[in-house]
Amino acid sequence: MYSSSATELQKSLSLGSISIGQRRNMIPAGDNVVVSTMKLEKLLSMKGGQGEASYANNSQAQAKHARCTLHLLKETLDRVQLESPEVPFVVADLGCSSGTNTIYIVDVIVKHVIKRYEAVGCEPPEFSAFFSDLPSNDFNTLFQLLPPLASNGGSMEECLAAPNGHRSYFAAGVPGSFYRRLFPSRSVDVFYSAFSLHWLSQVPEAVIDKRSPAYNKERVFIHGATEATANAYRKQFQADLAAFLRSRSEEMKRGGSMFLVCLGRTSVDPTDQDGAGLLFGTHFQDAWDDLVQEGLITSEKRDNFNIPVYAPSLQDFKEVVEANGSFAINRLEVLRGGSPLVVDSPDDAAEVGRALANSCRTVSGVLVDAHIGDRLGEELFSRVQTRASRHAKELLEQLQFFHIVASLSFA
């Protein structure tokens, strides 16, 4: 798992013969420093490419969880008002990332809408699909995975009769934050967003302010934090969701609908983040503490890093939708999503540990590397893997995600 640079770092540290004080003096000064929250939008992305820790190769759990909600997605699609076949039908996936999951979902949406048109005896319209994520997203990998259009210069009827391995829609990428406007007014029929809205637009400023009662001292996540810290996270989530809804209320066609899935929690207590808490609040947290105790980073360096994720309760979500007033709630519920760990040999502790480390690195590795540098990032995730391997059975039994599923249309 180590890169050559990480191996060299281990050798230079000589852990058995150099004191903690000496090792503190050896903390690399040239690595990237604390990332301003203002830069998060330009930095945050799932791990790109198609390597071992990439999102493309570590999103099987998300794919499985998304498939479990397909019947609810189709229920939402049945609410969408069909327009004249002369008007293109527009789908947007917000937070598409760079794997095949988004391609599969868009294909499901397009095929279901085609069936609706055919059921009423109408020719289907042309379809446009917009894949949207932050500018730092690996759109290149996504476009490489995108199937070719069914027809080379032929009619749209030929495209709609797309054989397997082809797509029946025109595709485009839209870089930008979904907490702001992304599309022209009244231009999108269906918004889909899965496993993205729990990502905040920024780490709440109070959480990394030493003068604030919400300062998340000695922690890198909300799980197990103080009530003040939890409230800061909650307020940031609700402000972000409100901004998201305002933008979509401008962009969605009057007969359109939205289908949203994000991490959620069953506990009333926001410091209990359920599956997200086990992912980022246990072995990941302990690995940061290891680096501090070993003198590889300072405690301040650790305390200035926080995962900008919040798993809301149904009440957290509902309050924002109702306050916005633009959307009617067709469905709002919490579903058990299952474990994010996909392993071939559950009895292989090393494989379980590697799976957890890859899951953590897939979604947070870019932030970690920006904060402490890629060499120390390797050190951190190797410790996550070691710790998780020691608790493999416990992780497989207890690590469960819950998801909020929301179907919204204009009120």
What is the DSSP track for 387-405? HHHHTHHHHHHH--EEEEE
pLDDT, tens digit, for every residue of 7-42? 333 333 233 333 333 333 333 333 333 334 446 666
Is a pLDDT exceeding 80 seen at residue 113?
yes
pLDDT, tens digit, for every residue of 306-350? 999 999 999 999 999 999 999 999 999 999 877 777 777 888 999
Q: Which CATH class is domain 4-410?
A: alpha beta
H or E element in which residue 358 lies = helix 349-372
Judged on CB neighbours under 10 Å (0-12, 13-18, 19+), 306 is: buried
Q: How confident is the model at residue 164, as a pLDDT?
A: 59
pLDDT, tens digit, for every residue of 167-199? 899 999 999 999 999 999 999 999 999 989 999
Q: How confident is the model at residue 268, as a pLDDT?
A: 85
Q: How confident is the model at residue 156, as a pLDDT?
A: 47
Whole-angstrom distance, CA of residue 315 vs CA of residue 321: 10
Is a pLDDT exceeding 80 seen at residue 150?
no
When pLDDT is cut at 50, 70 and 90, the band that residue 55 belongs to is low
pLDDT, tens digit, for every residue of 66-79? 677 899 999 999 99
